[in-house]
Amino acid sequence: MRPSSPIELTGTASHLGDAPAPLSDDLLDALRDAGDVVTDEEGTAEASRDWWPLALHWSLHGAVPRRAAAVVRPTTTDGVAHVLRSCNRAGVAVTPAGGRSGVVGGSVPLAGGVLLDLTALAGVESVDATSGVVEVRPGTFGPDLERELRHDYGLTVGHYPQSFDLATVGGWVAARGAGQYSTRYGKIEQIVGGLEVVLADGGVITTGGAPAAATGPDLTQLFVGSEGTLGVITDVWLRAWPMPSAERRGAWTFRDFEAGLEACRLILRRGATPAVLRLYDAVESARGHVGDGSTCTLLVLDEGDSVVVDAAMRVVEEVCAASSAVDVGAAPVDAWMEHRNDTSALQALTRRGFVVDTLEIAAPWSALPEIFRATTAAMMAVPHARSASCHLSHSYVDGACIYFTFAADPPSEQIDATYRALWDAGQRAVLANGGNLSHHHGVGIVRGRFMAEALGAGLDVFASVKQALDPGGILNPGKMGLPTGKDTARWPQ
Ligand SMILES: Cc1cc2nc3c(=O)[nH]c(=O)nc-3n(C[C@H](O)[C@H](O)[C@H](O)COP(=O)(O)OP(=O)(O)OC[C@H]3O[C@@H](n4cnc5c(N)ncnc54)[C@H](O)[C@@H]3O)c2cc1C
């Protein structure tokens, strides 16, 4: 499979910087030793964008954020090591990319240079069916992985992001993603058991490999969520489960979002972890045609061993009954399952000039009600805002991820400013009320300017690690709020 185009691209300009400086003939020859190389304007422009919603507007006006000088598509770990060694020597930036489905500009080559397309490193390498451990190459897309695991081994990894068809295993790990069934199977950092990583100087390391360890800090987790800034992931070991033998669904409506949040908290505190536990505020419930427009909808689905599933659903039923929630049957879950990965509204609204995006964060249960109120209010106070809504999408024993969707319809010359103002208002309201910067979309370009606020002195530690592993600063410069010595385009400018 190959990356999907997020929307039509009508030109090859660089919106945030100059056209890229061409690479030397020596470097291009070295890259050709590693894999296919593309240098034409159309090919490099197409590969230089992801699903960052603001950049979709730029695509419609003939520009990508910044164009790479070359795209290289190696097929082996040695090929990746050769690319990094050569670029490190030449001081040329390398931006790793998988499915390019990121929504924060993570795989956009802000310094031009080389776009490292990892989708040719694909396929399941080995399966330990007894232990449930799968070795898979990073460029493998979700459907290919699950098809082979289910069909040949009766296993599932259980990671189903909404972008399942668009994203790769390497992108899941590098962006620290979450699937829609994460409350049962865990977020990707719980699913990943080990990695092979190529460092900036071309050295190769292997991390993890056991169910647990006491061998110092967890080096696997150093690279999980590093968004291509610390190394390139070339092999991944994932934990897999037997295919579920049972599945149950149910839905309830609550008088308000806070009552639904409290029910979710109680379900988790009692130890039940239903795969899907999604609570929609009144705006999103009405959009989903559930309830009378004033209530909030909880969708629940669990799968696995029937004894465990029945026990989890019994906890859900008891908590919902005690909360005076109304049982509305499984039909709303069936409808959600049918349409859950449909993303056509994003392109349609973008073409009509709307600013649309999502902001997902995690926070302790005690902070969630105020974050919900403060963040939706802050975004709605931004000029031209038309809606700000929310749902809970992933739950933990100590808190949850809530996911805001916002839309505005500014005059066309104010699209960039309105987009920025909505992020400033929403993200700052989250941070001020005890939420974190991101639960699963990552940092990329969009959230770089909030990293110092969110991490404090921790950002200096991250920058020291970056300096130690990549002293030439070639890996994905300009991202995650890290300092960069490269000629890197900036957003906001
Ligand atoms: C419609 C839609 C729905 C989405 N739903 C979800 C969701 O439910 N859950 C979720 O978690 N995310 C979701 N996302 C965001 C996105 O799909 C995820 O972040 C995904 O994990 C990115 O994978 P990718 O292969 O497309 O990576 P890319 O977008 O290509 O890259 C993402 C980041 O990882 C780095 N990277 C990629 N591959 C490697 C590698 N092998 N080594 C080192 N660095 C690498 C890139 O440099 C970049 O910083 C959604 C996106 C869209 C467009």
- State the distance from the centre of ligand 1 to the C-alpha of 126, rounded, in angstroms: 23
How far is the centre of ligand 1, averaged over its atoms, from the C-alpha of 213 (Å)? 28
Q: Which tokens is 238 given?
A: 């994932």
- 246-339: CATH number: 3.30.70.3450
Q: What is the pLDDT of residues 330-358, one digit of tens each?
A: 999 999 999 999 989 999 999 999 999 99
Q: Which of 299, 360, 303, 296 is nearest to 334 (CA)?
A: 299
Please name the CATH architecture into which domain 344-449 falls.
Answer: 2-Layer Sandwich (3.30)
3-state secondary structure of 475: strand
Distance CA(110)–CA(288), nearest Å, equals 38
Per-domain residue ranges of the chain = 13-117, 124-242, 246-339, 344-449
Q: What residue owns the CA closest to ligand 1's atom 44?
A: 228
What atom in ligand 1 is closest to the CA of residue 177? 11
Which amino acid is present at 342? D
> Which protein residue has the closest C-alpha to ligand 1 atom 22?
171
| Domain 124-242 annotated CATH 3.30.465.10 | yes
Q: What would the pLDDT profile of 181-200 be if each residue is shown by its tens digit?
A: 999 999 999 999 999 999 99
Query: Which pLDDT band holds residue 290 (cuts at 50, 70, 90)?
Result: confident
Residue among 155, 305, 304, 307 at smallest CA distance from 241: 155
Q: What pLDDT score does 396 carry?
A: 98
pLDDT at residue 247, as a whole number: 98
Task: Using DSSP, state whether 294 is helix, strand or coil.
Answer: coil
- Residue 288 pLDDT class (50, 70, 90 cuts): confident
351: three-class secondary structure by DSSP: helix
> In the predicted model, what is the mean pLDDT of the chain?
97
418 in Cβ contact with 410 (< 8 Å): yes
pLDDT (mean) for 170-180: 98
Q: Which of 50, 163, 172, 229 to mutate to test the pocket of ligand 1 (most atoms within 8 A of CB)?
A: 163
Pocket test of ligand 1: the residue of 162, 188, 236 to mutate, having most ligand atoms within 8 Å of its CB, is 162
DSSP per residue, 206-245: EEE-SSS--SSS-HHHHHTT-TTSS-EEEEEEEE-EEPPS
What are residue 246's DSSP bridge partners? 304
Closest Cα to residue 139, out of 226, 236, 30?
236
What kind of architecture, by CATH, is found in domain 13-117? 2-Layer Sandwich (3.30)
C-alpha closest to that of 383 among 353, 426, 429, 422: 422
